[in-house]
């Protein structure tokens, strides 16, 4: 029987935080990417929850969480993940991060090594300069004036209706396109759009990714690390996955052939199996805060 996953809410430091949770066993935290939400993990959470306690937060500024004016840096998000874990009564977890969430996961491991048992990086940001041109353009000054014209409910709803019509005649949108379109649709909300711009500019400028963990990857040598990437990723190139695998001794690398930027949505069964096997065949890191 598939484990149930519920959408829940909790208040942390005066802010309402949404998250999905289910299952029992070792704790597994799933961190979504920029303009995403915990919903991106919907296809893998039930299977993972059969063996693990799975927690997928909506980061502040995203999904069902509050969208305050504030700090949208990697460090602030990592602290938010820690605060959620502690509020739910968990001291340690394996941390999985997709895209921007990979940067958050690495920052979590760096700031709170005593709380990070393992690290899973999925098409992760923060591992090289190259990134999709559109994201670089959106980081430019003035983009906040253009986005409201391009990202509105009318355009998004039209796309949803067209997608529904195509599905009715047997033509289904790819999981990759569905995730991109859902992220686009979230930007129709003004508060979400502002949080997106603040988050984007904290890690990307016109030249590409400006925050890199490359000089600190040696710190992950004692933390079991799994790297997952699609070989057709047109947002963050797979070359960065290969380079990260080479830079982290004893890390594991899983390339999903034919997949793009969302391997957990495009190949959910394989993703769940690979992550489950990784947790079951590795020992949790025992690093302390002083190491």
Instruction: Judge residue 6's burial from the number of C-beta atoms within 10 Å of its C-beta, 0-12 exposed, 13-18 middle, 19 or more buried.
Output: exposed
CA 128 to chain centre: 17
Rounded Cα distance, 227 and 245, in Å: 7
Which residue among the candidates 21, 37, 38, 99 is catalytic per the annotation?
99
Is 99 annotated as catalytic?
yes
**How long is the chain?**
291
- SS3 readout for 215-277: HHHHHHHHCCEEEEEECCCCCCCCHHHHHHHHHCCCCEEEEECCCCCCHHHHCHHHHHHHHHH
| Token digits of residue 265 | 């949505």
Rounded Cα distance, 197 and 199, in Å: 5
Which residue among the candidates 32, 124, 186, 233 is catalytic per the annotation?
233
Share in percent of the chain as helix, strand, coil (round to 5): 45, 20, 40
Which residue among the candidates 98, 261, 264, 285 is catalytic per the annotation?
261
Is 233 annotated as catalytic?
yes
Question: In which residue are the tokens 């959106």 written?
Answer: 138
Name residues whose C-beta falls within 8 Å of residue 1's C-beta, 6 or more positions apart in sequence. Answer: none
Is 261 annotated as catalytic?
yes
Q: Which residues have a catalytic role annotated?
A: 99, 233, 261
């Amino acid at each position: 029987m598939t484990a149930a996953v519920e959408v829940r809410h909790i208040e942390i430091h005066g802010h309402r935080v949404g998250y999905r949770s289910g299952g029992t066993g070792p704790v597994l935290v799933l961190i979504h990417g920029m303009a995403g939400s915990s919903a991106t993990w919907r296809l893998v959470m039930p299977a993972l929850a059969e063996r693990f306690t799975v927690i997928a937060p909506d980061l502040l500024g995203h999904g069902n969480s509050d969208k305050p004016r504030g700090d949208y840096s990697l460090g602030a998000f990592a602290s938010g993940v820690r605060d959620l874990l502690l509020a739910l009564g968990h001291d340690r977890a394996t941390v999985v991060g997709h895209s921007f969430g990979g940067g958050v996961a690495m920052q979590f491991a760096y700031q709170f090594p005593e709380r990070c048992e393992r690290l899973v990086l999925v098409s992760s940001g923060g591992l090289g300069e190259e990134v999709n041109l559109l994201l670089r353009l959106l980081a430019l000054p003035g983009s906040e004036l253009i986005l409201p014209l391009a990202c509105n409910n009318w355009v998004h709803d039209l796309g949803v209706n067209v997608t529904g019509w195509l599905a009715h005649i047997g033509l289904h949108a790819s999981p990759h396109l569905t995730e991109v379109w859902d992220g686009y649709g979230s930007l129709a909300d003004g508060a979400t759009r502002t949080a997106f711009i603040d988050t984007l500019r904290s890690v990307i400028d016109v030249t590409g990714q400006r925050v890199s963990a490359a000089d600190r990857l040696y710190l992950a040598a004692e933390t079991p690390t799994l790297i997952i990437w699609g070989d057709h990723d047109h947002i963050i190139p797979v070359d960065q996955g290969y380079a990260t695998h080479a830079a982290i001794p004893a890390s594991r690398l899983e390339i999903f052939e034919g997949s793009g930027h969302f391997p957990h949505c495009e190949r959910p069964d394989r993703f769940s199996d690979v992550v489950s096997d990784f947790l079951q065949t590795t020992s949790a890191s025992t690093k302390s805060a002083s190491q």
